[in-house]
Structure 1
């Protein structure tokens, strides 16, 4: 049709008026969203986060978008998914345990806790779900327009429980060619193609939730073959390789990671299922022991397990690439935000479920049921500590990749501000213009959209965790974390995000502040979670009534690392939030000042040990108790003294003497001498087995400085005020008797600078008669029996603890 020049001119004159009246054609199109969630993926598994696994499609997101270096989850699959889809902490919506009420994996959300598709629906989005669900309800009834829900995560090749659009599907036959990761991509591609055909005028939100690389480790043979030789060098070497690659990338330069976390060799799976090891055979091992200590058969078994884990991630990346190509073919790539993350860190779990494990079948096939285990999980979570379920960094810190060609121009950059899965919903609401239901309470998440343009603080006042009894809270640079039934730990994430240096004792006031804040949030979350519940249920919260699967509780209790102390008829207890012990005699002696006791140091997870049992039995037989409190490696720092005081007060409150004898073995010499110098009036005597009194000899100023809250230079300069060896004259002035046994060839704790220095201090104060040093000729810092079977030392401590006079046995 021909149009006259006048008509064309009038059309252009009208255009500004049309635009000013808000015609939608002039508004930028709302972005599409592809939200991809992996399952049990470790922090360093992807190539762009330091891993050796081939992940080019996900790496491309990092190259063309953003990598977040401090992004968190809830440390477990189902609470993360509840938080991811609602923007609330899982406890607030009853999707993780709230003591006293129905919650956790079977918890039902309050009506106001709608999932994000319901919110996006209001601004024109169509929403699609593919893969794992693990949220209460079904996908379509929660706002998704299409869904493939795969519930049977125990069978990657032949699931028996799956749904399409909330309608149950028949089981998949074995050997049918089905593989879950590929099937997920197939479904995503199908519904996206349908969207392009039938709903191209609407933006889409696609939630693609893979089960990979969650156990059982099952993968396609051709993918496993790709990694068959990669992991024969072992988990220690792979961990080092990943760490070096991270350092070359500069990945963690800005987030306080200066070294690898220590490998916790005694920490195994979070739950212990002994029958699994019978089914899996001798190749399985439930501790991250040094690779060189494994047998050849164990090395073969373990390296193949990691090859399967890598193959699962490799295949996931391939299938993600297919989905990317589908979006590009629709002409929607530039306006699609892709977010990739994991629900928790790599898993140390070992179990056998579902179809069981056939040890004669090819590893990684449908007939096998394998789990990654703690050796490889430690490597996959490089450089962090611990694993899935724990709230240490290894359990709750995982990758976040964000790409959006139309909206993110800062290609290849890192973002270091702390974020959390609770931030995903507010981000999507920010981008889409959607909002929460009017009745919904305030949510804790923050939009990460400001970080798309530049590095910025996302504005979290705190981040909070509680899962499986493990607790944590992060406020600014400080993170307090407490494993179940263990003391709180404290870390300065600005220089120790690998959680290697526990500052709980050194900064006790800061720890108390964070613990109080954690408890306040727990109370607030509980209140919100119970508002819509009947009064009877709410009363359970006040009464502390709670339910826990007894099988899982026992498995967790059995798996928990045990203190390896050797306590003769002893009891463990918590005093001032620290582990303490008391070995009580069957027939308690009595003095005019109360029951006699010995204050022992060092109390650590492995001390007292078996070498001291004969000695401790002599004390108990004589009616003398032995007690100690674990302050960690504090090396005589005055910051530990309040905890020693707490032990002392507890003992006195139980009727024990106000003047115990003190016994310090090795570093324990710093413990007992520092407390004696602080309270000479509370000390009956001091005994020692190759004791340290000079922190410059052991552990050295470099190691001891942090415990004192000083730099090494400050610690050296302030020895007159802080180093016990410089103040020993105060003990002689207080007339405190001392008996020590020490080897003359001790290279760890030299006798000259330690025990002989104490003797010299007594002599200088004319108190030589109060000190006795037994020299063990030619002995070093060892388990020589003479150190621990010294009758002179034992008799001395018994006599002094009993005040030498008037001691009698209470029958």
Structure 2
């Protein structure tokens, strides 16, 4: 296993926890990786040199069974910011602004809004992909979701990670930039930290990288460590190491702003990789509700608060981020709506027996087969739809009535502890357990679909 390191588009939450001093609030910084595989980075036995990330794992808790909010990008990000299933939040699939009304609903309460209410300065830098105005669509910008400052792209860095031309800063196009996206995003984060008018004010810094999502690019001197400079696998690895280097620069700046003992870091990826060779031999990949499409790295580090150098096998995921941050900061999560995630604070503080997940982890993606998946304890239940949609790869909002009213068939059951590669279907041999879990899945599904917005209608409420 390579030495300690960090990755591309990962989720990093920094919370400087000076609770010993009355009235103070910790800072919160979140980093998210894009399309990063379960078996990409060093501390997950991956081939990429990521010393920053590996050192975070050594100083905290690494989850072996950590999950994205969805098997594709936009929905997972909606889940991360809200602690709610993405369909409740208005996002059925990845967002294509020119052809869809869909976006993160303004009526949702995001982590940024919660922290802003607590007196935090808030900023988002990097990929957004939760809907932006343009193309004849009047969609909200990140400031409508609680971010005072934002520097973002609709979707991917264009034309690639190298010299992107499509960043927008606070509603104004930035124009061509020189450099690599991950480094430019960290430059912006550092500039924002330096420009704060009140350096005593707590801050929430949301950092979402583009790497290693295609179209990929990385410096040749990094790529050459993994193969030829024109080899896609080598470039893919190069984007991850390049991001690790960018994260190292950000962490150095954060350490100058506050001590590492006052910093909580949470790391993950928005979904699984598109490269089958980086899933750790798990079944499926990005876009599929098999383990390879939804299982991702998950690391929590907060020296002095979270126990160090621990590996947890408790199933957890991006859906748990909002309630966990609220729990660690001792503030209330929204109480007027369903929160699908659970507070992981007991697990992080070394008391796993005190942790209770109030609802199984659940995934829905209309173009995936299986279309739904649920994790309850050691078991995974998956199913296919009992209806057919058109063959379009792009999400069509006209499908929404069928999605909301449809049900499921071909249920399959797997013991993920004994069979993480999901090779042995236990549904026939464990009919009572299968039926019990099927009822749970349908109950969760009904609740989520009842909240799902009707984007196909002209006057959809936001």
> Into which bin does the TM-score normalised by the smaller protein fall?
0.7 to 0.9
How much does 1:181 deviate? 1.2
Give the aligned partner of residue 419 of structure 1. Answer: 316
CA contact (8 A) 2:101 2:455 kept: no
Other-structure match for 2:381: 480
Aligned residues: 402
Match of 1:96 among 87, 92, 96: 92
- Per the alignment, residue 148 of structure 1 pairs with 151
Question: Is 1:71–2:66 an aligned residue pair?
Answer: yes
1-structure distance, mates of 2:121, 2:439: 43
**Aligned: 1:168 with 2:65:** no
**1:131-181 CA deviation, whole Å, 9 max, x = no partner?**
000113312222112221133434222333221123222244xxxx32111
The equivalent position to 2:34 in structure 1, one of 32, 39, 42, is 39
Assess if the C-alpha contact under 8 Å between 2:52 and 2:244 holds in 1: yes
Contact 1:417 1:455 in 2 (8 A): no
Q: Report the CA distance between 1:116 and its aligned residue.
A: 1.2
User: How far has the Cα of 1:483 moved from its partner?
Assistant: 5.4
Counterpart of 1:453 (choices 331, 335, 349) is 349
**Does the CA-based 8 Å contact 2:158-2:166 persist in structure 1?**
no
Q: 2:435 is matched with which residue? A: 512
- 1:219: Cα distance to partner? 1.3
Distance in structure 1 (CA, Å) of the matches to 2:285 and 2:171: 33
| Aligned pair partner of 1:525 in 448, 451, 455 | 448
Instruction: Tell whether the 8 Å contact from 1:56 to 1:317 is kept in structure 2 after alignment.
Output: yes
Aligned to 1:328: 255
SS at the partner of 1:399? strand
- The aligned counterpart of 2:217 is 218
User: Offset of 1:534 from its aligned partner?
Assistant: 7.5
- Over residues 425-480 of structure 1, what are the superposed CA-to-partner deviations in whole Å (9 max), with x where a residue is unaligned? 11122233443456x31312111111222151542231111112421112222211
- State how far apart, in whole Å, the 2-side matches of 1:330 and 1:78 are: 31
Cα RMSD between the aligned structures? 2.8
Deviations 1:382-422 (A, max 9, x none): 031110111111110101111112422x2111121111211
2:53 to 58, 72, 78: 58
Distance change (3 Å), C-alpha of 1:105 and 1:404: farther
- The answer to whether the 8 A contact 1:93-1:109 is kept is yes
Q: Would the aligned equivalents of 2:38 and 2:295 in 1 still touch at CA under 8 Å?
A: yes
The CA distance in 2 between the partners of 1:513 and 1:125, in whole Å, is: 44
For residue 132 of structure 1, what is the aligned residue in structure 2?
Answer: 127
Q: CA deviation at 1:66?
A: 1.2
* CA distance in 1: counterparts of 2:202 and 2:113, whole angstroms: 14
Distance 1:111 1:188, change over 3 A: closer
Question: Deviations 1:473-498 (Å, cap 9, x if unpaired)?
Answer: 12222211135678332101231122
Instruction: Pick the structure with more helix per residue.
Output: 1
Pair 1:393 & 2:316 matched: no
Q: Given that residues 130 and 207 in structure 1 are in contact (C-alpha distance below 8 angstroms), is that contact kept between their aligned partners in structure 2?
A: yes
From 323, 327, 346, the equivalent of 2:273 is: 346
For residue 340 of structure 1, give the secondary structure of its aligned residue in structure 2: strand
1:502-527 residue CA offsets vs partner (Å, 9 max, x unmatched): 11222234323323332232221111
Question: How far does residue 105 in structure 1 lie from its aligned partner after superposition?
Answer: 7.2
TM-score by length of 2: 0.80
2:281 paired residue number = 383
**Distance (whole Å) between structure 2 residues aligned to residue 506 and residue 128 of structure 1:** 51
Rounded to whole Å, the distance in 1 between the matches of 2:332 and 2:167 is: 32
Farther off after superposition, 423-432 or 42-51: 423-432
Structure 1 runs not aligned, ≥5 long: 1-23, 230-299, 348-376, 539-811
Contact preservation (8 Å) 1:123, 1:432: no
Q: How does 1:41-440 map to 2 (within 5 A)?
A: 41-73=36-68, 74-96=70-92, 106-136=101-131, 137-151=140-154, 152-155=156-159, 156-172=161-177, 177-195=178-196, 198-228=197-227, 304-347=231-274, 377-408=275-306, 410-436=307-333, 440=336
Residue 26 (structure 1) shift: 4.2
Q: Secondary structure of the residue that 2:191 maps to in structure 1?
A: helix
Structure 2: runs of 5+ lacking an equivalent: 1-18, 132-139, 389-408
Structure 1 match to 2:392: none
Kindly report which structure 2 residues correspond to 1:390-789, keeping only aligned pairs within 5 A, or say none: 390-408=288-306, 410-436=307-333, 440-456=336-352, 458-460=355-357, 461-467=359-365, 468-469=367-368, 470-482=371-383, 487-530=410-453
Contact 2:102 2:455 in 1 (8 A): no
State the shift of 1:50 in Å.
Answer: 0.4
Aligned partners of 2:76 and 2:243: how far apart in 1? 20
Task: String of CA shifts for 1:68-99, please: whole Å, max 9, x gaps.
Answer: 1111111111000000001100111221159x
